[in-house]
Amino acid sequence: MIDAGGVGYKWNAGTLLRTFRKSVPVLPFLMYVFFVLGLPTIVITALAFKSGNGHYTFSNIKVILSGGQYRAGFENSLKLGVVTAIIPGIIGTLIAYAIASSKSGALKRIVATASGVLANFGGVNLAFMFVATFGAVGLATTWLNAIGLDPWNYGFNIYKLWGVAFVYMYFQIPLMVLVVTPALNGLRPSWREAAEGLGASPWQYWRRVGIPVLLPSVLGCMFLLFAGGFSAYATTEALTGGTVALTPIQIGAYLNGNVIATEQNVGYALGFSMIIVLLIAVIGYSLLLKRSSKWLQL
Amino acid sequence: MATAVRRLKPGRAVLLLLSLIYFVLPIYASLQFSLENVQGGFTWSAIRAIPSQPGLAGSVWLSTRIGIVTMIILMLLVVPTVIYVHLRLPGMKRTMEIITLLPIVIPPIVLILGVLDATPLGLKASPYLLSLVYVVLALPFVYRSLAAGLDALDLRTLEEAAKSLGSGALRTIRFVILPNLRSSLLSAVVLSLALVLGEFTMASLDLWQTLPVWIVNFSGSDPHISTAVAMLSLLGTWALLALVVFLDRSHSRRLRKGLVQ
């Protein structure tokens, strides 16, 4: 029926049937993903634009955008996502570079394994560990207090937004080390040698070669970190008991029934807004990673 | 290790030392907190009090059951699909990669909103609804780990060799491909098990008292005991991880010596 650009490959009933038959074993999996992931997403999207009595409306979205607690929560979540992407992103890249350029195989293995474990370490246990360490009477707080540097006297509070950011670094830094290491390993020594051979200083090498080559992957990985920091719930909920105004916490409170009757479907609008932001982040991540693979054989 | 550190430039050594402190100190502090009494002295009393805590045993059992059902679905549905895609439908790899990105776009806190609304009542009353959702959360780990293992194999040659020796497709998968995927399967299982046993968001909002939910609910009554439980569950997970790494290493060492067929 259609000649695919003169390649000579013709689609006909036979090949279509064969392709279909070949895909049959994958159908159960695809249906599973549809029912467990796709359908709930459709429901969230539909309810985000419905009022309590079933009419289509933009009022749920307007409630969030117009100000008040939901807008504050959304702005806080965005801030948290950006800060816990940039700072751990930079620290993680520096650690990964220090490891990648060292000659010790043991150090590389230890850091790789530790990063793999710690990157998936958000959650309840992490919250408890930080209360025991940097809480008002935590071990590190007590030590610092003994030398007159109690961080709590200088505005530090582990139960507030920036305290939460400090805790998130515990899984964000290892995640960055994990995802950015392949890019750093792709930085070929021959490029540095070539630059030096042409008389480049280390600074010139980094400015003209190293940073331009690495920047897409580093930024891409930061998008991934942003997604994690923006949507994390368990750590903050266990740490603060839901007292910090963040969108995930507000969705949790909504599900637990803490909602005003006139704002019945606002929870779904919050969920929908998060999906939109995260979609942008993941697309940014994929595009930047694709771009970086132009230079780096990942 | 020491010589490796000595070989580093001073700037890097300081960076690595500071990060070492940041990552180790909380573990040390919580262990100490679990093992101290009101006066700050050493005691096992928090650890000894763990078995008799009301609700703890039930929550551990609940987490275990949910974990087992999750593993069964992963093994019966996801693993065969990933293998099939790599063997017969390599054109679908890209689609699979996109699917594994979806749990980032729809994170647990958002997904549970829709799941609680879209699920029929009968299933909603079951704790295994969580297993169904955890399969999706574990998907990225399972897919990446298996895909890496499968990409490293020369599937075509293996398959043709098995075929020429008279093996059917299922026999080839069971006796040729799966044994070669041993370590990727192991790491997929352990990572997803760690994920399932530590998952708090969806379990707490679906109102099931799994182990992490119990730890948070109980933390008001005695922080020493709940920190001790948190550390124990953490050590348990790490022991599991270490065991897998160890089993995998000793297996491949024996393989190299030719002790395993």
Task: Answer yes or no: is pLDDT of A3 > 50.
Answer: no
ipTM of the complex as predicted: 0.86
Q: Among all residues of chain A, which has the CA nearest to that of B35? A: A132
**Is A169 part of the contact surface with chain B (CB cutoff 8 Å)?**
yes
Over range A167-186, report the average pLDDT: 91
Q: Among all residues of chain B, which has the CA nearest to that of A279? A: B105
Residues of chain A with Cβ-Cβ distance to B85 below 8 Å are 26
Least confident range of A158-172, A173-187, B212-226, B244-258: B244-258
Domain ranges of chain B: 56-210
Residues of chain B with Cβ-Cβ distance to A269 below 8 Å are none
Residue pLDDT, tens place only, A107-158: 888 888 788 778 877 788 899 899 999 988 888 988 888 888 888 888 888 8
Domain ranges of chain A: 65-292
Interface of A with B in 244-273 (CB under 8 A): 248, 251-252, 255-256, 267-268, 271
CATH superfamily of B56-210: MetI-like (1.10.3720.10)
CATH architecture of A65-292: Orthogonal Bundle (1.10)
Looking at residue B204, its pLDDT comes to 94
Interface of A with B in 49-88 (CB under 8 A): none
Residue pLDDT, tens place only, A202-260: 888 888 888 888 899 999 999 999 999 999 999 999 999 888 999 999 999 999 887 76
Name the residue with higher pLDDT: A264 or A285: A285
**Cβ contact A26–B81 (<8 Å):** yes
**Cβ contact A128–B215 (<8 Å):** yes
* Two tokens, residue B243: 């065991």
Chain A to chain B, count of Cβ pairs less than 8 Å apart? 211
Residue pLDDT, tens place only, B50-76: 888 888 999 999 999 999 999 999 999
Closest CB to B105 among A94, A238, A275: A275
HEC string of chain A equals CCECCCCCCECCHHHHHHHHHHHHHHHHHHHHHHHHHHHHHHHHHHHHCECCCCCECCHHHHHHHCCHHHHHHHHHHHHHHHHHHHHHHHHHHHHHHHHHCCCCHHHHHHHHHHHHHHHCCCCHHHHHHHHHHHCCCCHHHHHHHHCCCCHHHHCCCCCCHHHHHHHHHHHHHHHHHHHHHHHHHCCCHHHHHHHHHCCCCHHHHHHHHHHHHHHHHHHHHHHHHHHHHHHCCHHHHHHHCCCCCCHHHHHHHHHCCCCCHHHCCHHHHHHHHHHHHHHHHHHHHHHHHHHHCCCCCC
Task: Answer yes or no: is pLDDT of B203 > 90.
Answer: yes
